[in-house]
Structure 1
């Protein structure tokens, strides 16, 4: 059985997802750069906003740390640490406010045991294993002519798709929470809130793009498998 190269005809299945991914990343970068130059009226830094929101949510035990990675901001539920990039941690801009608030949204989800987040966190180890082994088993099955290995590879990659699908409501909900608090708490005003919404919406599109890419890859694997029968 031939081992398909990366130039096989099924690659065309990925083209729409690749285009959307490129567009989404461009949108994120442009919105982030634009609103990282616009200071907010009240002058709060991302760290101050995050700490304020965490304390008001009763999350006094969640620490805030700096992570030296641009747009690497995230909340770690296992250690209850909110990690912010230097620009977000120290910045007093619309971008830093929106991103810091979004990550606090994840911390609040964790506290409230938001179901999609709980499910996503619980399957992370299995998804990591599936992501690592799926392609190896898939192409090994094709090379050796073992349909069972090919099918197992597809099933394992399906876990990645499920993970991406669950991630969408998690990310959209965190942004909704963030914008609601920023507005109701008076942290951002008028155009500032709309600017933060543009930053977070652009970021959300990268998750949509990642999901489309995962689904497209799954369809491609199935197509290759059927073609090889």
Structure 2
């Protein structure tokens, strides 16, 4: 168990570092104007059009780094500074979210798999923590609650890892499109790539943290004494 504790601690520290780096990079790059002069909204709408997608809307959403694509109502939701921003960071984030819309339109395998897991994951996340708590308390009398909790946590961990290729692919599509259309210069490409790299790292750390936590509960389950 000592090794698992160490992984959990390292993951927590890494999560804090990645979060700080992400905010720092976006603040730095958002202050540098894009030579093409496009706003995040304009870049997103252009990328949608170039991919023949006409049924997806680009809208503004409150908050910072709250950008996301909603497949349910087919909207690319851009945070205010990305929606209105005219920087490499804003264009990169906007194009990344449109990358998800392109994945949706092209039925990208990992996105389909992840979307199919959402209903089960919603149920699992609602009850998982309580079941795990009950399982830990009752571990000496019965392993069943903890086993159920571990199974539910395994589902969330699987979801975290399936999310990784989805995120990396969306960034790849975004950067390729920006280069092809001349949206960014060579220097701006470097900034856009760096910003998306740190955004992707948040998902990597989350997946590793989820795996470490799963191993912690699994070791508790299989290491129990009858």
Q: TM-score range by the shorter chain?
A: over 0.9
Deviation at 1:228, TM superposition (A): 3.5
Note if 1:133 corresponds to 2:115.
Answer: no
Deviation at 1:192, TM superposition (A): 0.4
Q: How big is the alpha-carbon RMSD for the aligned residues of Structure 1 and Structure 2?
A: 1.5
Of 99, 107, 115, 2:101 maps to 107
CA distance in 2, matches of 1:93, 1:158: 39
CA distance in 2, matches of 1:64, 1:47: 7
CA distance in 2, matches of 1:105, 1:15: 33
Residues 96, 209 of structure 1: CA spacing in aligned structure 2 closer, same or farther, 3 A cutoff? same
Deviations 1:107-146 (A, max 9, x none): 0000000000000011012112212222211221232332
CA distance in 2, matches of 1:141, 1:170: 33
Alignment map for 1:170-209 (pairs within 5 Å)? 170-209=166-205
Alignment map for 1:34-53 (pairs within 5 Å)? 34-53=28-47
Deviation at 1:9, TM superposition (A): 10
Deviations 1:35-62 (A, max 9, x none): 0000000110000000001011111110
CA distance in 2, matches of 1:180, 1:215: 31
Q: Is the 8 A contact 1:10 1:224 kept in 2?
A: no
Deviation at 1:12, TM superposition (A): 4.0
Q: Is the 8 A contact 1:95 1:196 kept in 2?
A: yes
Mean alpha-carbon deviation: is it higher for 117-126 or for 216-225?
216-225
TM-score (norm. length: structure 2): 0.94
Note if 1:167 corresponds to 2:163.
Answer: yes
Partner of 1:220: 216
TM-score (norm. length: structure 1): 0.93
Unaligned ranges ≥5, structure 2: none
Partner of 1:3: none
Residue 79 of structure 1 aligns to a residue whose secondary structure is: coil
Residue 83 of structure 1 aligns to a residue whose secondary structure is: strand
Note if 1:158 corresponds to 2:181.
Answer: no
CA distance in 2, matches of 1:220, 1:78: 35
CA distance in 1, matches of 2:46, 2:7: 46
Alignment map for 1:45-124 (pairs within 5 Å)? 45-124=39-118
CA distance in 2, matches of 1:202, 1:142: 35
